[in-house]
Structure 1
Amino acid sequence: MSSPAIVNVSKFVSGNAKKFGEYVNYIDRHEAVRSNNFSKFNVNAFDGYHNYMENPEKSTGLFTATQTQLSNQEKEQLKKAFQLAQTNDSIMWQDVISFDNKFLEEQGIYRARTGYLNEGVLQEAVRKGMAASLKAEGMEASGVWAASIHLNTDNIHVHIALVEPHPTKPYKTFINKQGKSYTARKGSRKQGTLDLMKSTVVNDLISRDKELMKISELIHSRIAPANREIIPLMSRPMRQLMNEVYQELPDDLRLWKYNNQAITGIRSKLDVLTTMYMEEYYPEERIELTEALNEQVATTKRLYGDGEKEKGRYEKYKSNKENELYAKVGNVLLREMRGIRKEEKQHYEQSVGDKREPFTPKNLQPAYLNKLKKALRKDFDSIKNKKKYQELQEEMERGE
């Protein structure tokens, strides 16, 4: 099993914990002193790569959401914020983000031979990760954090401590190992929050926008644009299948949407139509999209590892993008069929007058088929220009 490019571990302690007090005591100390006494205030035993968290061989100075290096006065201000948090019984969360050093080298951030590390790039990535996680937990206004980079041989990692000077987390009743109840602030964070922090950090370190934009462009512009007209010719099997779908659609036009449960039985036929259309008119783009999705899966596998949980996430991303394509094309067809049905009903009502015979949809006429073909082609072209590539990371972190 390959090692992921980045891992994170997290633990928390309450305001009366000894580790909390020790962290506060060492905030304003020299970095060498902090490093030598790291074990006194560290609450994470392992770094995420199954390595024991010992005192760092070398550690950078503290940095925060706004400061790259802290002056003595700024350290004092930070210490007071942590002291206030402890007085108010805040939780102290400690996160460790660890990197595969080879990954950092691949990104040009680290050089093993010389020991060079672009600390500024790493700090900025952590800031973005913390901003995302604080927002996810509703702590943008209340959270105060400090971090330092630990430079070890195998895995460079960032040690982060987060508190709330004015706590927002509620008190709850818990049961300890002895079966006795006690009251404490809720300290657990959603797994999605921790995943979001990790992915935000790694995505800031690696540029994948170009590949993600390529996938979006293929889906939303070249294969299924929103405003295209379907090509003028349609094969006999496509015409037959198109008529089957049209005849089976429900009377209520409001239900004519690809993901509506009312057309579950028709959806597979819409998918076959989409596949036939792509194979006949867009074979190169279809192959290109498949290759781009496979490349993205390979990149994600490199970043997150190939464990069962991670495998499910990046494979689901690929299937989600495939589904997005089929849903988009399916809705184009349904939208055009809806317009045809409206015209057909209007013509029927005008022709029958007062006779209220039940309306029965007819086979699609050549003119209507051409209209469908033109609309589908138009939509296939527009799918390429909508830049929706940022949806990937949200999907990954939601586990969709």
Structure 2
Amino acid sequence: MNRPAIILTSKFSAPSAQKTFGRYVGYMARKEALEKKEYLSDKEKSELDRVETQAKKLDQKYNFSVIKSEEHSKREKEAKELIKKKSIFDLNDKEFDKYLGYMVRIDALNHKKENSKLTAKEQSELEKIGAAANRLSELHATKEKVLDGVFSSDKNVVQLKDLNYIREQLNEGQKNNSVLWQDVVSFDNSFLKKKGILSSTGILNEEELLKATKKMQSVFQNEMDPPLNNMYWVASIHRNTDNVHIHIATVERDPRRKLINRDGISQPKGRRPQKIIDHMKSSFANELIGSSELTKELSQKRQTIREAIQINLTAQVEQPTFQAELNEFVKILPESRRKWFYNKLNEPQKKMSNHLVDELLKDNSDFKKYKDLVWELQNDRQSLYGKSKRNNKNYAINQLYGKEGIYARNGNALLADLRKIDKQANHNQRHRVSFKEKVDPNKYIQSALEEIYKQKSKKENVKSSFDESYAPHPHGKSKTRNIKGHYLKKPFITQSQIRKIKSNQEKVFEKTNADRESRKNLREFEKLQNEVEKELE
């Protein structure tokens, strides 16, 4: 598989491990700092061994490092590092108060900077507290105190003043014993540029990322068992690395998770099945590239293409070249008409069906557009999920040649018309042996059409004779003439019709007086009988 354009990296932590998780993060930060040093003293080497041992113990006990992600690539490694770092939502109260203080002071200094020049001391202060704020969080406020790229389950625009409210919602969830789920969606910037979400000048369409995130979170909430109760989440878009990425933190303010026992500690079950994570990612991607609109357009074109098959068959069925191809196709079809369905055919039969569909639709613009759209979606999916070597994972192959693909649908439309032709040529008799077994297979379609026209002509002649026998008299008086085979008789009921009426009356009586189970069985029998009759047709 090639590297996908979108990576979803996920983790969760149980509420019982929140304080310990802070210690784990501290160990990992110290470990990273020591490992960056070119030379270590004996004391530092000893400390590194101790830190690694303690971090390993905590990790084994609480599974902190169990992170679900995809692909062994630079972006995957980057995403794993991002999800381990502390964000604004992980800050303790003291750190958070300090961060708010920094942001208020930065805002005041920037305001002064716009109206008058800052002193050297103020400029130095601005640089220092800016660096300090960045160390605590990657969030940045605009002049209007709006936090760039931050949104939540109930706010599309988040201001600096909203941070206290947001923390209260997350804290409420954790206080009520909620799992904290954290996700990072990381992008290949070249894909975002290709889809017009990131401009060549670096302008990011955050509105599209917001809509896709909301769609993904809706899938997360509804597919969990049970669904997340009173869910709250907050997301922030970051651009401080080589690739755009989104951090998302989620809690249940009123948890409904099943409690499990781990190492003697009761805690809510937070692990998400892989199929939910996969669906979260696919829903995000589909919303981002607008595939739902393309899918709707494909659905509309499928119907018009199916109608075009039947219209074009009527137009071309008299052409000698097409008749020869139809005869070759019918020649290899099964003997019984009941097997004239695309998915009941073998590969050579399907191949011939596909060829005829192409012939009938060679000038159809909807068919060409359909195939172009399918391959456009396939290329998008390949960019999103990587290239698969398995055909059953290939979107375009499935949409064109799968069991419900365009060739199957139109092959069935063609076969439906051929079944109709064969049945009419057989005088509408429910013969198991098709009409093609009665004539020269090399002249099947010609013989079938000739027989149908002959029957039609005969009916029209009979109708014409019947009409003439009742033609008005030239002088205005009607004159009835007896013609052989036509008699003026009063309406009467035959013995066959009487038996049928009696049988129907008995059925109605049985239905009315039978118990509920008997009526149900009778309905099932009648339904089965109707299906058998339709198949025999």
**For residues 284 and 271 of structure 1, what CA distance do their matches in structure 2 show?**
21
Name the count of aligned residue pairs: 327
Residue in structure 1 matching 2:317, options 203, 212, 232:
232
1:1-400 matches, within 5 Å, as 3-18=3-18, 48-51=75-78, 52-53=81-82, 54=85, 58-59=138-139, 61=147, 62-70=150-158, 75-110=163-198, 116-137=203-224, 139=227, 142-172=230-260, 184-207=267-290, 219-222=302-305, 225=308, 228=311, 230=313, 231-233=316-318, 234-245=322-333, 247-250=335-338, 257-259=341-343, 263=344, 266-268=345-347, 270-283=349-362, 292-306=373-387, 308=388, 312=390, 316-322=394-400, 323=402, 324-337=405-418, 339=420, 347-348=428-429, 360-363=433-436, 366=446
Q: Which amino acid aligns with 2:408?
A: A
The residue number in structure 1 matching 2:35 is none
Asked if the contact 1:15/1:85 (under 8 Å) is kept, the reply is: no
Q: Give a deviation string over 1:242-275, Cα, whole Å, max 9, x none.
A: 254252444xxxx76544xxx3xx3435523322
- Alpha-carbon RMSD: 4.2
Amino acid aligned to 2:330: M
Distance 1:198 1:19 in 2: 30
Per-residue CA deviation, residues 53-100 of structure 1 (Å, 9 max, x unaligned), is 256763354421220234677545544443343244322211101122
Tell me how far apart the structure 2 counterparts of residues 205 and 126 of structure 1 sit (CA, whole Å). Answer: 9
Cα shift at 1:182: 6.6
Matched residues in 2 for 1:279 and 1:370: separation?
26
The answer for the alignment partner of 2:104 in structure 1 is none
CA apart distance, 1:328: 0.5
2:174, 2:450 → 1: CA distance? 71
* 1:147 shift after superposition: 1.3
Higher relative contact order (CA 8 A, sep 6+): 1
Q: 1:327 corresponds to which letter in structure 2?
A: A
Could you say if the C-alpha distance between residues 346 and 101 of structure 1 is closer, same or farther in structure 2, counting changes exceeding 3 Å? Answer: same
- Percent identity, please: 25
Residue 289 of structure 1: CA displacement? 5.4
For structure 1, list consecutive stretches of 5 or more residues without a partner in the other structure.
23-41, 175-179, 350-357, 373-400
For structure 2, the 5+ residue unaligned runs are: 23-63, 88-133, 141-146, 437-443, 453-537
For normalisation by structure 1, the TM-score amounts to 0.64
TM-score normalised per structure 2: 0.50
> d(CA) in 2 for partners of 1:140 and 1:367?
66
Pair 1:282–1:19, CA change in 2 (3 A) = farther
Q: Point out the structure with max Rg over C-alpha.
A: 2
Change (3 A) 1:346 1:107: closer
Residue by residue over 1:18-69, the C-alpha shift from the partner in whole angstroms, topping out at 9 and shown as x without a partner, is 16987xxxxxxxxxxxxxxxxxxx9769995311225676335442122023
Residue 135 of structure 1 aligns to which amino acid in structure 2?
N
Contact kept, 8 Å, 1:98 with 1:158, in 2: the verdict is: yes
